[in-house]
Structure 1
Amino acid sequence: MVAVFPQKHLTDIAEWHRMGEAGIFPPDCRMELIEGEILHMAPIGFNHAGHVNRLISTLTVLAQGQAIPSAQNPVQLSDLSEPEPDFLLLHPEPNFYTTRHPNASDVLLLVEVSDTTLRFDRSQKLRLYASHNIPEYWIVNLIDDCLEVYRQPQDGDYLHKIVLGKSDSLNLVALPEVRIEVAAIL
């Protein structure tokens, strides 16, 4: 008898969208497509949600007229990946991305708020974002109460990483005139 091993079924963006349109997933189900795998996302807790609200409040005002803020919406990175980051700043688009999801070249800043997903956000998501040349990736690290900033994507990693605390501030790479006080988002 020949041994048969379970095989993973990977899907692409087209199949992923067809499944969504067909109503295969429950409406309240939170999932992402990462490298062809459908991943269930953890429920959003109050601390996580509050920090997403801080990002929205702070960065929307600071980048007004220079970027489009987007919270917990998809970004299409390839035919196999469509994550839903916690927060994005996108290049201005006259139609506000109503005819397509933004792609990697539209992203100015991508932010994940991390508590239970910290290890995943530092490894698989970091590699995914770096391999698609997302210029600036932040992890709002709720476990260590800090902001991890990743810049200069190259070969699936970021060449520059800094960890900032509440007393620090920084300027965005894509919008250098925008200065953020870390305390405003932590």
Structure 2
Amino acid sequence: MGGGRVKFILMSTDLTTSNFSPTEGQFPAPAYPVYRFSIAEYLQMADSGLLAHADVELLDGIVVPKITRNSWHDATLGRVHLLLVTALLSKPWQARNQSAMVTNRGVPEPDIALVRGTHDDYLVQRPTSRDTGLVIEISDSTLKLDRQKAEIYADAGVPQYWIISAVDQCVEIYDQLQRDAAGQMVYGAKRIIRGSETVQLSLDGTLMATFAADQLVPPLPVQR
């Protein structure tokens, strides 16, 4: 390319309203052919700076644009992150905020991931699903996409997955990992927690904290 700057272009797709049918065992992809990146290729691009200005994540080989966050999302992220950081003080866990994690099927960037150790443990490597006790996505316009991500987190062996849903004003809790008839890891239980009902935060079998659902899910702003 004549020594000039390489321009990396990402084609944006609205995944919240798409009608794409997922190939079995794969994240929904555009109807036209796509080049699927390996995890190693994606991480090489990220480490080289090619993705420095691209707000994306890798899901089943597809580089997926992340949806622009609104004020409710960012305020909820701050609220939940603070609750978790407080609960994990002096514990051998940390709450990571919108940081990459490496799984069997991609490099997602969940809103919050609880991982073992300190920040210094990940100076030269990203946490993997084996380091992770809980993943949380905060969902306003991305509920369909976030529910599809449950497949990826379960396949990776993440013990718990929470979706904090703005529209339904609830916490969706996915846990009880098990193998299905095809031998794939899936979440065996899904629970909906609302209002004053309690959500227990347990990591490696130890109860860390208990929250009311409405501590985690603030009301949507009233439209004027």
- Identify the match of residue 56 of structure 2 among 7, 10, 31: 31
Give the conservation status (yes or no) of the 8 Å contact 2:177–2:188: yes
Equivalent residues of 1:135, 1:173 under 8 A apart: no
For residue 157 of structure 2, what is the amino acid of its counterpart?
N
1:176 matched residue in structure 2: 207
Deviation at 1:166, TM superposition (A): 2.1
> Gapped runs of 5+ residues in structure 2?
1-30, 179-183, 218-224
- Post-superposition offset of 1:94: 7.1
Shift of 1:93: 4.0
Q: Is the contact between residue 74 and residue 83 of structure 1 (CA under 8 Å) also seen in structure 2?
A: yes
My pick for the range that moved more, 87-96 or 165-174, is 87-96
8 A Cα contact 1:141 1:148, kept in partner: yes
Q: Label 1:163 to 1:18 Cα distance change in 2 as closer, same or farther (>3 A).
A: same
Residue of structure 2 equivalent to 1:69: 95
Conserved? CA contact 2:100–2:108, under 8 Å: yes
**Residue 131 of structure 1: how far off its partner (Å):** 0.8
Instruction: Determine which of 185, 196, 206 is the counterpart of 1:167.
Output: 196
Are positions 1:129 and 2:158 aligned together? no
Q: Does 1:59 align with 2:90?
A: no
Q: Does 1:139 align with 2:156?
A: no
Number of residue equivalences:
179
Q: Using CA pairs under 8 Å that are at least 6 residues apart, name the structure with larger relative contact order, 1 or 2.
A: 1
Q: For 1:139-181, what per-residue CA distance to the aligned partner results, in whole angstroms no more than 9, with x for missing partners?
A: 0011111100111122342111110112111222313142222
1:118 is aligned, of 143, 148, 154, to 143
Change (3 A) 1:151 1:69: same
- CA distance in 1 between counterparts of 2:146 and 2:32 reads 27
Please give the root-mean-square deviation of Cα atoms over the aligned residues, in Å.
Answer: 1.9
| In 1, Cα distance between equivalents of 2:131 and 2:153 | 13
The reply to whether residue 17 of structure 1 matches residue 43 of structure 2 is yes
Kindly indicate whether the alpha-carbon contact (under 8 Å) linking 2:101 and 2:127 is maintained by their aligned counterparts in 1. yes
Contact 1:147 1:165 in 2 (8 A): yes
Q: Give the direction of change, closer, same or farther, for the CA distance of 1:35–1:180 in structure 2 (3 Å limit).
A: same
Work out the percentage of aligned pairs sharing the same amino acid.
25
